[in-house]
C-alpha cells in the first residue's frame, strides 16, 4: 500500500525488482552460473548504452548478439520476454493500487474517468440530476469480444501470470512475517512453473478454443466485476440523484464474435457456430447453478411475503423451497445441452429454459425480503445475481455473425439461376433493390431455396438455416463486411426470411474502406427513405465503422477524418428520418487500427454520436489488458459509463467551417504522402524484407489466416492485423503516423492560426494528435535502422532512409503543433514505462533482426521451398522474439 512519504512509483519499482530477482534466481538454478551471467551481462550492457547514449556500447551489444548460438539466443529471449510480461503484471497491479491510494488521499477529489468524476463534472456544468438519472437509466453500451489473431500469449501462461498478480496483491497487504515468506515461496513456485512452460503454441487455436477463452474471461473476471461496478454506480446515483439504480436497469452488455466471425476464416461454419452457442449456454447454466446453490444456502429465513407464501405453501424455509425447482430446471437444461453437444442433435427450443425462468423466482425472493424488512439481505448477493442475469442472460456473450458480402452474392446467384430468374450478379443495383423489396414485402418469398448448391454457397446458406434453429437470445447482429450498396443489406434480410428465422437478427452494414465510408450516407439514405424499411428495423439502425481497413486503405489521418465525417452525415440523416442510430466501432488494439484510450476515444466523437448508444469491439490482447483482472475490468466499465454519459450530456461543439476546410487540406496531403509510399512498386518487397510479416504466419496465434486470399501478398489483400503486427515488431509503427507530418507541415504553411485553434479547442483534433504523439514516442528509429541494415538489400536502402526522414519530420511537426519540447511531457507514467522496457526490448529487437537474417539465409539454401523454416533451432528463437516484443509493446497490432 502506498503512503504519503513514498514516491508514487516506489511500490511498482519494488515489485519489478522482486520479480526480476526471483526470475534471476530461477534462471541461475535451472541453467547455471554461466548462462545467468550471459543474460545479466546482456542486460547491463544494454542499460549502460541507453543511460549513456553510447553508440559504441550498442555496437558491442550488436556484435555480441550477432555471434550468439541459437541455444543461447532462446535463453536470452525467454528471460527478457518473461520479464516484460512480469512487468506488465506489476504495472496492472500498480494501476489498481494507485486508484485505491488516490481514493484514500483525495476523498473529495474523484479520480478522472471514475463515475464520481463524471457526475461531478456534469453537476458543475449545470446538468440537472434528473437528466443524469434518466440518461443513466437509458445507457446502451455493448462491448463485443473478438478473437482476431492478436493474442500471442498461451492461455496456460496467462493463467499463471494471473496467479502472479494475485500473489502481488496479497503481498501488498500488511502481512505477518511468516505469511509474507509463504507468499514469496508461492511466487517462486509460480514463476518456476512459468519458466518451465513453453511459450509457443504448437498448433493454431481453433475457433472453439478462442470462444472458450472468451467464456473464461467472463467466469474469472467479468462475473465479479459487473456487479461490483453496478454497486458503485448505484451508490453514486444515490449520492447525487437521491435514488438508486433501478433493479433491472443494465447500462452495459457484452457480445462476441468468437465462433460467429466467418469473414475470411474457413474454419468457422454453421456446425461450429452452433457448437459455440451451445457451449455458451452450458457455461451460463453452470455458473447460475453454482450461484443458486450458494444463494439457497444463505436464504434460510422463514419469514416471507404473502406472494411468496402462495407459491410455496407451508414450507418452513420458503426461499429455499422456491429455488429448489429452479435448481432442478438448471440441471435438466444443462444435461440437455450436454446431450446436444455429444450427439450433434437438432435443438428443441422448448427444452431450453429462458431468462425469465431464472429471473422471476429471484425477483420474488428480492421483493419478499424487502417487504419483510430484510433489505440488507436483498441488497447483498441476491441483487448481484439478479444483475448478472440481466447482463449475461443465458448465453453469456450473444454471438454476432459476420460474413463478407461477396459470399452472399455467390449464394444469391445460384438461387436465382436455379429458379430460372436470370443472373443476379448482372442485374443493376436498382433491379436488385426492386426484387428484394418485393420479396420482403410479401407474406412468403416466391423463391425456392431447396436446390442443389455449390460447397461455397452451401456453407453460407447453412449458416442461415442454423440461425433458424437457435434461440433468439443466442445471437446478436448479422454484420456484412465490405458493405457498399443498399442491396447488400436487403439481401441478408431476404435470406433471413427465406430461412424462416423466427426473430431475425438485426442487419448491420460494415463500412470499411475510405470510399465505402464516403458512400455510406448515400447508401443509408436510400434505405431510410423506404417506409417499409424503417418499419422493418423498428426505426433503429446499427452501423459498423471499420477503423482497421480504412486506416490501411487511406492512412491514419485520412481515415480518422473520413470516419468523423461519415458519422456526422449519418447522424443528420437518421434524425431527419426519425431513426435511432447506434454506431458500432470496429476498433483494434493499436492506434493504426483505431485503438485509443477509452475516455479519449468516446469524447472525440461527433456531437450526437452517443444518443443511440454505442458498440465497441474489444480485440485480442486488449481483452487481457482491460478485463483479465477484476479491478481492471471494473475500472474499464466505469470509464465507459463515465465517458458515454459526458459525451451524451455535454457533447462537443460542432467543428468550425474553417476547421473543416483545414481538415480537408490535411487529409488530402496525408493521403497523398501515404499512397506515395505504399503504392510504390518496391514497397511490398521492402516491407517483406524489413519486417517479419512472412514469418508471423508461422506463429500459432489465431484461427484466421493472415491474408484474405491465397494470392501474392499485396497491401489490399493483407489483413490489417498482421500489417500492424509486423510494423510494431520493427519498432517503427509506420501505419500509426505516416502522412501526418506532411499534413501538419502543409497546414502550417496554409494557415497556422487555424491549426493552433484546432489544437486548442477541438476535442477530436486534440485526441488525434495525442494518439500520434503516443505512437511516435514508442518508435525507435535506431532499432528500425538496425533492421534495415541487416535485412534490406542495398537496392532498397534509399527507401528506408526516406521513411526514417519522414519519421523525424513527423516527430518535429507533432511537437510544434502540441507546443512541447519532448514527446509525452504530459504523460510521464507512459514515458517512464517506455524507458523501463527499452533495456529488455533492445536485445529482443537485435536478436530478432539477426535471427530473421539467419532463417532467411537458410531458407534460400534449402532444397524444399514448401517448409516454413529450414533452420528450426534459430526459427524457434525467432518466434519467441515475436511474443516477447509484443509483450514489451503491450500489443501486437
Q: What is the pLDDT of residues 733-763, one digit of tens each?
A: 999 999 999 999 999 999 999 999 999 999 9
pLDDT attached to residue 592: 46
Please, is 488 exposed, middle or buried when counting C-beta atoms within 10 Å of its C-beta (0-12, 13-18, 19+)?
Answer: buried
Query: For residue 304, what pLDDT is reported?
Result: 97
d(CA 849, CA 730): 9
Chain center to CA of 97: 24
Q: Give the closest residue to 59 by CA, choosing from 841, 846, 838.
A: 846
pLDDT at residue 4, as a whole number? 46
**What is the mean pLDDT of the segment spanning 429-458?**
94
Tell me the pLDDT band of 703, cut-offs 50, 70 and 90: low
Active-site residue numbers? 148, 552
Taking residues 230-240, what's their average pLDDT? 97
Distances (CA, A) of 297 to 24, 121, 324, 743: 47, 43, 11, 66
d(CA 219, CA 447): 45
Residue 456 has pLDDT above 70, yes or no: yes
Instruction: Enumerate the domain spans of the chain.
Output: 270-392, 403-580, 657-889
Q: What is the rounded average pLDDT for all residues in the chain?
A: 91
Whether the per-residue pLDDT at 702 is higher than 60: the answer is no
Task: For residues 595-606, give the mean pLDDT.
Answer: 81
Look at residue 744 in the predicted model and tell me its pLDDT. 98
Check whether 404 has a pLDDT greater than 50: yes
Q: How far apart are CA 105 and CA 800, in angstroms?
A: 50
The position carrying cell 493521403 is 671
Neighbour tally for 409: CB within 10 Å: 18
| Site of grid cell 442487419 | 507
110-142 tens-digit pLDDT: 888 899 999 999 999 999 999 999 999 999 999
- The mean pLDDT of 487-508, rounded to a whole number, is 97
pLDDT band at residue 148 using 50, 70 and 90 as cut-offs: low
pLDDT at 872: 78
* Paired sense of beta strands 614-619 and 252-256, if any: unpaired
Q: How far apart are CA 670 and CA 740, in angstroms?
A: 6
What does the alpha-carbon distance between residue 853 and residue 788 come to, in Å, rounded to a whole number?
11
Angle ∠(553,554,555) on CA atoms, nearest 5? 110
Number of Cβ within a 10 Å radius of residue 789: 12
Per-residue model confidence as pLDDT tens digits over 316-364: 999 999 999 999 999 999 999 999 999 988 999 889 999 999 999 999 9
- The residue behind cell 501488498 is 172
pLDDT of residue 325: 97
Could you tell me whether strands 540-546 and 506-511 are parallel, antiparallel, or unpaired per DSSP bridges?
A: parallel
CA distances from 371 to 378, 384, 418, 865 (A): 10, 19, 65, 76
Of the candidates 590, 519, 598, 868, the residue with the CA atom closest to the CA atom of residue 736: 590
Q: What local confidence, expressed as pLDDT, does residue 790 receive?
A: 93
pLDDT one-digit tens code per residue, 185-196: 999 999 999 999
Percentage with pLDDT > 90 across the chain: 74
- Residue 839: pLDDT band (50, 70, 90) is confident
Greater confidence (835 vs 33) lies with 33
Residues 351, 339: Cα–Cα separation, whole Å: 12
**Which of 222-231, 602-611, 692-701, 738-747 is least confident?**
692-701
Q: C-alpha angle with apex 507: 503 to 513, nearest 5 degrees?
A: 165
Grouping H, G, I as helix, E, B as strand and the rest as coil, residue 886 is: helix
CA–CA dist 551, 439 (Å, integer): 37
Q: Is the pLDDT of residue 552 over 90?
A: no
- Give me the CATH code for the 403-580 domain, please: 3.20.20
Contacts of 569 (CB under 8 A, 6+ apart): 520, 521
Which of 616, 622, 716, 625 minimizes the C-alpha distance to 255?
A: 616
| Residue 695: other Cβ atoms inside 10 A | 24
Cα separations (Å) of 473 from 82, 145, 329, 681?
41, 17, 18, 50
Q: Which CATH number fits domain 270-392: 2.140.10.10, 1.20.1440.90, 1.10.10.10, 3.40.50.150?
A: 1.20.1440.90
For the cut 80, the answer to whether the pLDDT of residue 377 exceeds it is yes
How much is the pLDDT for 787? 95
Tell me what pLDDT residue 202 has.
Answer: 66
Q: Is the pLDDT of residue 717 over 80?
A: no
What residues contact 351, with CB distance under 8 A and at least 6 apart?
Answer: 333, 336
Cα(667)–Cα(656) distance, integer angstroms: 16
813-841 average pLDDT score: 90
Q: How confident is the model at residue 6 (pLDDT cuts 50, 70, 90)?
A: low
Grid cell 502540441 is found at 818
Give me the mean pLDDT over the 843-855 stretch: 93
Strand 141-146 relative to strand 252-256, pairing: parallel
Indicate if the pLDDT at residue 505 is higher than 90: yes
Answer yes or no: is pLDDT of 150 > 70: no
Alpha-helical segments (H) within 762-796: 763-778, 781-791
**24-33, 687-696, 809-818, 859-868: least confidently modelled range:** 859-868
Predicted pLDDT of residue 893: 45
Residue 705 has pLDDT above 60, yes or no: no
Rounded Cα distance, 588 and 481, in Å: 16
Cα dihedral 310→313→314→319 (10° resolution): -80
CB 267 within 8 A of CB 282: no
Q: What is the DSSP letter of 266?
A: T
Let me know: does 292 contact 323? Beta carbons within 8 Å.
yes
Amino acid at each position: 500500500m502506498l503512503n504519503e512519504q513514498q514516491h508514487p512509483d516506489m511500490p511498482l519499482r519494488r515489485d519489478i525488482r522482486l520479480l526480476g530477482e526471483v526470475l534471476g534466481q530461477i534462471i541461475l538454478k535451472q541453467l547455471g552460473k554461466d548462462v545467468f551471467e550471459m543474460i545479466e551481462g546482456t542486460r547491463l550492457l544494454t542499460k549502460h548504452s541507453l543511460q549513456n547514449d553510447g553508440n559504441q556500447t550498442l555496437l558491442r551489444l550488436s556484435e555480441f548478439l550477432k555471434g550468439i548460438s541459437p541455444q543461447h539466443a532462446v535463453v536470452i529471449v525467454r528471460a527478457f520476454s518473461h520479464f516484460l510480461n512480469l512487468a506488465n503484471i506489476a504495472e496492472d497491479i500498480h494501476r489498481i493500487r494507485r486508484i485505491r491510494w488516490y481514493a484514500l488521499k483525495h476523498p473529495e477529489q474523484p479520480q478522472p474517468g471514475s463515475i464520481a468524476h463524471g457526475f461531478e463534472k456534469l453537476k458543475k456544468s449545470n446538468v440537472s440530476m434528473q437528466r443524469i438519472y434518466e440518461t443513466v437509466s437509458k445507457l446502451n453500451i455493448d462491448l463485443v469480444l473478438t478473437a482476431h489473431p492478436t493474442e500471442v500469449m498461451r492461455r496456460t501462461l496467462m493463467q499463471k501470470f494471473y496467479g502472479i498478480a494475485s500473489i502481488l496483491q496479497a503481498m501488498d497487504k500488511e502481512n505477518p512475517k511468516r505469511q509474507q515468506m509463504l507468499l514469496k515461496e508461492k511466487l517462486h513456485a509460480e514463476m518456476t512453473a512459468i519458466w518451465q512452460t513453453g511459450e509457443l503454441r504448437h498448433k493454431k487455436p481453433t475457433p472453439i478454443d478462442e470462444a472458450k477463452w472468451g467464456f473464461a474471461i467472463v467466469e474469472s473476471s467479468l462475473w465479479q466485476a459487473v456487479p461490483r461496478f453496478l454497486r458503485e454506480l448505484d451508490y453514486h446515483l444515490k449520492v447525487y440523484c437521491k435514488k438508486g439504480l433501478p433493479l433491472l436497469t443494465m447500462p452495459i452488455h457484452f457480445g462476441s464474435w468468437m465462433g460467429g466471425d466467418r469473414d475470411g476464416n474457413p474454419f468457422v461454419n454453421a456446425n461450429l457456430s452452433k457448437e459455440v452457442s451451445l457451449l455458451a449456454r452450458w457455461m451460463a447454466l453452470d455458473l447460475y447453478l453454482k450461484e443458486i446453490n450458494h444463494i439457497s444456502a444463505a436464504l434460510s429465513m422463514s419469514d416471507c411475503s404473502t406472494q411468496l407464501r402462495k407459491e410455496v405453501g407451508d414450507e418452513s424455509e420458503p426461499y429455499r423451497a422456491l429455488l429448489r425447482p429452479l435448481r432442478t430446471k438448471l440441471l435438466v437444461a444443462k444435461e440437455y445441452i450436454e446431450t446436444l453437444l455429444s450427439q450433434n442433435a437438432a435443438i428443441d427450443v422448448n427444452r431450453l429454459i429462458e431468462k425469465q425462468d431464472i429471473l422471476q423466482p429471484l425477483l420474488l425472493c428480492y421483493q419478499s425480503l424487502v417487504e419483510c424488512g430484510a433489505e440488507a439481505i436483498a441488497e447483498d448477493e441476491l441483487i448481484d445475481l439478479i444483475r448478472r442475469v440481466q447482463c449475461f442472460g443465458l448465453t453469456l456473450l450473444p454471438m454476432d455473425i459476420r460474413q463478407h458480402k461477396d459470399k452472399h452474392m455467390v449464394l444469391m446467384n445460384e438461387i436465382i439461376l436455379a429458379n430460372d430468374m436470370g443472373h443476379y450478379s448482372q442485374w443493376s443495383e436498382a433491379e436488385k433493390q426492386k426484387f428484394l423489396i418485393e420479396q420482403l414485402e410479401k407474406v412468403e418469398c416466391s423463391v425456392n431455396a431447396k436446390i442443389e448448391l455449390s460447397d461455397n454457397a452451401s456453407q453460407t446458406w447453412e449458416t442461415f438455416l442454423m440461425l433458424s434453429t437457435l434461440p433468439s437470445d443466442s445471437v446478436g447482429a448479422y454484420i456484412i463486411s465490405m458493405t457498399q450498396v443498399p442491396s447488400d443489406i436487403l439481401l441478408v434480410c431476404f435470406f433471413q426470411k427465406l430461412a424462416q428465422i423466427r426473430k431475425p437478427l438485426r442487419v448491420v452494414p460494415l463500412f470499411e474502406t475510405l470510399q465505402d465510408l464516403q458512400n455510406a450516407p448515400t447508401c443509408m439514405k436510400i434505405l431510410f427513405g423506404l417506409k417499409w424499411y424503417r418499419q422493418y428495423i423498428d426505426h433503429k439502425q446499427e452501423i459498423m465503422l471499420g477503423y482497421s481497413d480504412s486506416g490501411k486503405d487511406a492512412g491514419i489521418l485520412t481515415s480518422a477524418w473520413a470516419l468523423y465525417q461519415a458519422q456526422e452525415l449519418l447522424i443528420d440523416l437518421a434524425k431527419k428520418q426519425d431513426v435511432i442510430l447506434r454506431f458500432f466501432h470496429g476498433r483494434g488494439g493499436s492506434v493504426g487500427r483505431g485503438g485509443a484510450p477509452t475516455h479519449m476515444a468516446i469524447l472525440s466523437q461527433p456531437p450526437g454520436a452517443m444518443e443511440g448508444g454505442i458498440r465497441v469491439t474489444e480485440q485480442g490482447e486488449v481483452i487481457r489488458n482491460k478485463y483479465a483482472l477484476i479491478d481492471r475490468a471494473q475500472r474499464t466499465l466505469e470509464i465507459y459509463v463515465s465517458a458515454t454519459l459526458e459525451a451524451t450530456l455535454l457533447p462537443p461543439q460542432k467543428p468550425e467551417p474553417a476547421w473543416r476546410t483545414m481538415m480537408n487540406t490535411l487529409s488530402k496531403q496525408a493521403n497523398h504522402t501515404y499512397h506515395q509510399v505504399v503504392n510504390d512498386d518496391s514497397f511490398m518487397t521492402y516491407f517483406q524484407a524489413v519486417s517479419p510479416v512472412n514469418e508471423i504466419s508461422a506463429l500459432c496465434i489465431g484461427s484466421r489466416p493472415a491474408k484474405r486470399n491465397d494470392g501474392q501478398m499485396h497491401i489490399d489483400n493483407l489483413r490489417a492485423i498482421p500489417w500492424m503486427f509486423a510494423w510494431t515488431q520493427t519498432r517503427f509503427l509506420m501505419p500509426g503516423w505516416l502522412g501526418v507530418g506532411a499534413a501538419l507541415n502543409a497546414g502550417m504553411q496554409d494557415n497556422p492560426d487555424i491549426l493552433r485553434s484546432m489544437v486548442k479547442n477541438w476535442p477530436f483534433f486534440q485526441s488525434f494528435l495525442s494518439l500520434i504523439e503516443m505512437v511516435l514516442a514508442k518508435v525507435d528509429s535506431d532499432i528500425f535502422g538496425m533492421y534495415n541494415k541487416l535485412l534490406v538489400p542495398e537496392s532498397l536502402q534509399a527507401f528506408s532512409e526516406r521513411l526514417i526522414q519522414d519519421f523525424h519530420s513527423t516527430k518535429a511537426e507533432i511537437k510544434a503543433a502540441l507546443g512541447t519540447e519532448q514527446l509525452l511531457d504530459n504523460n510521464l507514467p507512459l514515458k517512464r514505462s517506455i524507458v523501463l522496457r527499452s533495456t529488455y526490448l533492445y536485445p529482443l529487437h537485435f536478436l530478432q533482426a539477426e535471427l530473421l537474417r539467419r532463417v532467411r539465409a537458410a531458407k534460400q539454401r534449402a532444397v524444399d521451398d514448401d517448409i516454413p523454416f529450414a533452420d528450426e533451432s534459430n526459427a524457434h528463437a525467432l518466434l519467441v522474439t515475436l511474443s516477447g516484443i509484443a509483450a514489451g509493446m503491450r500489443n501486437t497490432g
